[in-house]
Chain A
Amino acid sequence: MLWKHSLRAFAAIWALSAMLAVADTQPPILFKDGRFQPDVVKVPANTRFTLVIKNLDSEPSEFESFDLNREKIINPGKEAEIYLGPLKPGDYQFFDDFHPRATGVIRAE
């Protein structure tokens, strides 16, 4: 009985969350030659959006941001979707722990 109630509650939370899913995909960020391109990405403030990161290099890349609380590893030749927002206007740093030169900023405006 308890398990049934727990499962129902969990399913209800899941369904509610699914209804509030993100849309609005931004132009992709490319990881190439050990850097993010572009390294300044302008996004709309106070809106939910999706970033696509494409790794065009021959080694794994990481998209990490303490400001945004995100961390994702992207294998060579693969891409990853990062769901973000709504963000207050401002700059949000991101970096790649595998490649210290690879840094960038998401600018919400």
Chain B
Amino acid sequence: MQRSNKTNGKRIFRTQGQREPRPGAALQARRWLRTFPFRNRLPKADRRVGVWGNWTTVGLAAMATSMICGANNALAIDYVVYSPLVVRGEKEVEYRSYYNLDNRPEINGQQGYRLAVGAGLTDFWYSDIYGNFTKGYGGGLKAQGVEWENRFQLAPQGKYWLDMGFLSEIEYRFQANAPYEVSVGPLLEKQIGRTVTTLNLLLEKTFGNNANSGVEFEYKARLRYLLKRALSPAVEAYGSPGYIGRFVPVEAQRHQIGPALYGTMRTGPSQVFSYSGAALFGLTKASPDLTLVLRMEYEFY
């Protein structure tokens, strides 16, 4: 028997001559991400994954516990990247959903749904009301809460080098003694030719009963190529390293990236139907292996 200590700090025994399987790109990326922020700050002897294994376990356990208990908002992840642009007079009915696929039963099958109505109230202000529904481990679909979201466009599109907006949203959760959650942050967009890059940097804070101390940071990003109105390819990324000032180890952070498709179809005078979908792959242990996202909007004026 030959002992190999190469995989994640676990000892794996192989027979003589048996080769280790070659790690795939995703696994290599995970290993690299796991050690990156700490690699150059630690004594050489401590630059091994095992040192962080305990912290990773603690982080994952906390996340899994909170997911199972429904004590935090982990299921209510909003898989959408907001543009800072607002169209006055536009009204919409919107549906968004995600579905997690994972080997872990507590994550596999998690679902989230959002139904919204919204309107562009002025040239710079768009307002939405959401109803949020989630399905977690061992439970049925539950109404999670309602959310009021406001987006503000800070300057006419294209006037400055960067298009900027601001998002603010407040969520009231139906769960007894659940805190309110407030999210704010800039929405940034830059178009170069037919490529549009959008970045949302959000700070989330809970208030009221059982509120967490600290401000959670979340990012959302999209790179979209304007190919055709009916179908445009994109890449989307979502993640959260945790609370500002006390980010959890990388393996316990949520980071997801994957391809997406966007399209719009005219359904009548002053009416359009927009649709988009994404397949997001988890880059860390705390992220679901795969999240499927579907979004649909009916817009009218």
Contacts and interface: CB of A to CB of B under 8 A. Distances in A.
Contact of B157 (A10, A16, A21, A70): A70
Interface in B181-198: 186, 188, 191, 193-194, 196
Given A60-B89, A88-B193, A97-B269, A22 B301 contact: no
A73 B158 contact: no
A6 B215 CA distance: 13
A33 B193 CA distance: 32
Nearest to B158: A83
Contacts of A22: 158-159
- Interface of chain A, main secondary structure: mixed
A21 B162 contact: no
B87 interface: yes
Given A2-B244, A17-B164, A98 B157 contact: no
Contacts of A67: 194, 226
A91 to B, nearest CB: 13
17 contacts: A2-B244, A6-B203, A13-B188, A14-B160, A17-B155, A17-B161, A17-B162, A20-B161, A66-B228, A67-B226, A70-B157, A71-B87, A73-B301, A83-B157, A83-B159, A84-B158, A88-B193
A90 B85 CA distance: 25
Contacts of A82: 157-158
Task: Name the interface size band of chain B.
Answer: 20 to 34
Contacts, number: 67
A100 B158 contact: no
Contacts of B154: 14
A109 interface: no
B191 A13 contact: no
Interface of B: 85, 87-90, 154-162, 164, 186, 188, 191, 193-194, 196, 203, 215, 226, 228-229, 244, 264, 266, 269-272, 301
Contacts of A62: 270, 301
A8 interface: no
Nearest to A49: B158
A83 B186 contact: no
Contacts of B159: 21-22, 83
Interface string A61-96: 010001101111100000001111100100000000
B139 to A, nearest CB: 35
A100 B267 CA distance: 12
A98 to B, nearest CB: 5
A100 B269 CA distance: 8
Given A13-B164, A20-B161, A97-B272, A83 B226 contact: no
Nearest to A67: B226
